[in-house]
Amino acid sequence: MASGMAHEINQPLSAVVNYTQGCIRHLENDGSEKNKKLIEVMEKASVQAKRAGEVIHRLKNFFAKGKLYISPEKSGRLIRESINLIKDEITKADVSIKYKLGKNLPLINVDKIQIQQVILNLVHNAIEAMVETPKDKRKITIKTALTDDGKKITYIFQDTGPGFTDEVADKIFQAFFTTKPKGTGMGLPISRSIIEAHGGKFSILTSKGKADGGVCFTLPVTDKKRR
Ligand SMILES: Nc1ncnc2c1ncn2[C@@H]1O[C@H](COP(=O)(O)OP(=O)(O)OP(=O)(O)O)[C@@H](O)[C@H]1O
Ligand SMILES: [Mg+2]
């Protein structure tokens, strides 16, 4: 149902985007100075319609997640492969990635595609959090380690951005909560729901009672042999 509904809503939304883009082209061709204001407003309408489309798309993925396709995976390789998918974006944003991956960790039992989605959400958030950070200081540190009971792997993502303010930290798991003009506010709620569906925990890190921009989650290991 989620996917049918998403389709029904996305069709008219795409039409709105196309019509507004058409209007913008007409106004631009006309070349008149007073059209500038109209073009500006039409651009805003188009951006908002696109944003609504993105919200619908993410909601569909959230509800239509369905079955997990679990397979044994290497925890470090999953990280490196995910980062590789967006390496151009990372380079363009002048962000460096530091890996502190545990050695000889057991394999994890995960739906690879869904965990990749979580990793990409977190890296995107970190990149976006560091836009005001000086270029030479933009760094994401990714750590993995086995939990004390040996049953899970902990993943930690930290960035050198400003961290979560207390006010933001209280609201991040509310669907649609965002501080970004083009954000949907679905990234963290979706990530948490994926991790919990795997039997793991998802939380933001705090130090001295303050959230410091780090995010942490756990994933269950298989009982297969260590890598
Ligand atoms: N690494 C981070 N450092 C500081 N604040 C963060 C970080 N990650 C998330 N946030 C805050 O949490 C809010 C919610 O994040 P979430 O990923 O759920 O949505 P979003 O990034 O705003 O939108 P979308 O994921 O759809 O692009 C963000 O708007 C931002 O204020
Ligand atoms: Mg996000």
Answer yes or no: are the C-beta atoms of 129 and 161 closer than 8 Å: yes
DSSP string, 143-184: EEEE-TTSSEEEEEEEESS----HHHHHHTTSTT--SSTT--
Contacts made by residues 203-207, CB under 8 angstroms, sequence distance 24+: 204/164, 204/169, 204/172, 205/156, 205/158, 206/169
User: What is the reported pLDDT for 182?
Assistant: 82
Q: Is the CB of 123 under 6 A from ligand 1?
A: no
- Ranges of each domain in the chain: 2-63, 71-220
User: What is the reported pLDDT for 168?
Assistant: 87
Q: Kindly report the protein residue whose alpha carbon is nearest to atom 12 of ligand 1.
A: 172
pLDDT mean by block of 10 residues, the chain; 227 residues: 80 93 92 88 91 82 75 95 94 97 95 92 96 96 95 96 87 89 89 94 78 86 69
Q: Is the CB of 185 under 6 A from ligand 1?
A: yes
Q: Do the domains 71-220 and 2-63 match in fold? A: no
Q: Which fold has domain 2-63?
A: Helix Hairpins (1.10.287)
Q: Kindly report the protein residue whose alpha carbon is nearest to atom 29 of ligand 1.
A: 178
User: What is the reported pLDDT for 227?
Assistant: 47
Of 158, 176, 177, 180, the residue with max ligand 1 atoms within 8 A of its CB, to mutate for a pocket test, comes to: 180
185 CA closest ligand 1 atom index = 19
Q: What angle do CA 121, 196, 211 make, to 5 degrees?
A: 55
Helix, strand or coil, per DSSP, at residue 206:
strand
Q: Is the CB of 6 under 6 A from ligand 1?
A: no
Residue 86 gets which letter from DSSP? T
Q: Is the CB of 211 under 6 A from ligand 1?
A: no
CATH number of the domain at 71-220, out of 3.30.565.10, 3.30.420.40, 3.30.200.20, 3.90.1150.10? 3.30.565.10
b or e along 14-29 (b: 16 or more beta carbons within 10 Å of the residue's beta carbon)? eebbeebeebbeebee
